[in-house]
């Protein structure tokens, strides 16, 4: 469908390129945009252009950011001795939304996946190692070394493999390497939780 199509068909087509949005949903969204005030279309269009024009990677944590270093790395109230490693910027957002973690982050931009041909060199692992070494080297002065690396990777095959790989790689560099707990989610109904999660939750049981 070229630029020759009428604007409505073209908008439906463009919306349909987004993941999880089929022709039906795209049509519904397009007609909503047409009924809505012009500011909705303009605001969304501007946000789409801005995000591509202004967003780059933070040279320290590799998160997507407008400024370098990013707001998280520049925040002096965040503990630089505590590093949370996540697979994607979306995962970082999910971890940070809760406000439970007040250290720094490092975004890998993926996980190890031999099946998809994704090895260590395809991820931001080299940058992570360099960051740990730099912090160690500078720790004589005003900076402090990284005491703990928390691996916040999804508990699936690729996440497990990546966590294992990173633990072996990073431990010799000095920090404690930990992994976020897996188990039954808070508010979850035991009845509907899968067996692997139940098994993991039993294994990791603690004294009350």
Return residues touching a copy of itself (CB under 8 A): 6-8, 10-11, 13-15, 17-21, 25, 27-34, 38, 40-52, 54-55, 64-66, 71, 88-90, 93
3-state secondary structure 144-180: CCCCEEEECCCCCHHHHHHHHHHHHHHHHHCCEEEEC
With respect to a copy of itself, which residue has the nearer C-beta, 28 or 171? 28
Minimum Å gap between C-beta 154 and a copy of itself is 15
Minimum Å gap between C-beta 48 and a copy of itself is 4
With respect to a copy of itself, which residue has the nearer C-beta, 16 or 155? 16
In Å, how far are 12, 79, 113 from 150, measured between CA atoms? 43, 13, 20
Minimum Å gap between C-beta 204 and a copy of itself is 27
Minimum Å gap between C-beta 56 and a copy of itself is 10
Q: CA torsion, points 70, 142, 123, 55, in degrees to nearest 10?
A: 10
With respect to a copy of itself, which residue has the nearer C-beta, 13 or 133? 13
């Amino acid at each position: 469908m070229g630029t020759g199509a009428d604007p409505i068909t073209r908008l439906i087509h463009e919306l349909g390129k987004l993941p999880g949005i089929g022709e039906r949903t795209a049509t519904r969204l397009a007609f909503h945009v047409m009924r809505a005030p012009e500011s909705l279309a303009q605001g969304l269009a501007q946000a789409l252009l801005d995000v591509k024009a202004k967003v780059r990677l933070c040279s320290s944590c590799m998160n997507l950011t407008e400024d370098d270093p990013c707001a998280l790395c520049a925040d002096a109230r965040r503990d630089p001795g505590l590093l949370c490693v996540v697979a994607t910027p979306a995962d970082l957002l999910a971890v940070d939304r809760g406000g439970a973690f007040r250290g720094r982050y490092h975004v890998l931009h993926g996980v190890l996946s031999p099946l998809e041909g994704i090895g260590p060199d395809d991820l931001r692992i080299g940058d992570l190692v360099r960051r740990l070494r730099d912090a160690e080297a500078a720790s004589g002065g005003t900076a402090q070394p990284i005491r703990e690396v928390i691996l916040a990777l999804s508990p699936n095959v690729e996440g497990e493999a990546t966590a294992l790989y990173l633990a072996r790689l990073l431990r010799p560099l000095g920090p404690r390497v930990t992994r976020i707990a897996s188990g039954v989610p808070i508010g979850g109904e035991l009845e509907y939780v899968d067996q692997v999660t139940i098994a993991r939750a039993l294994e990791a049981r603690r004294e009350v």
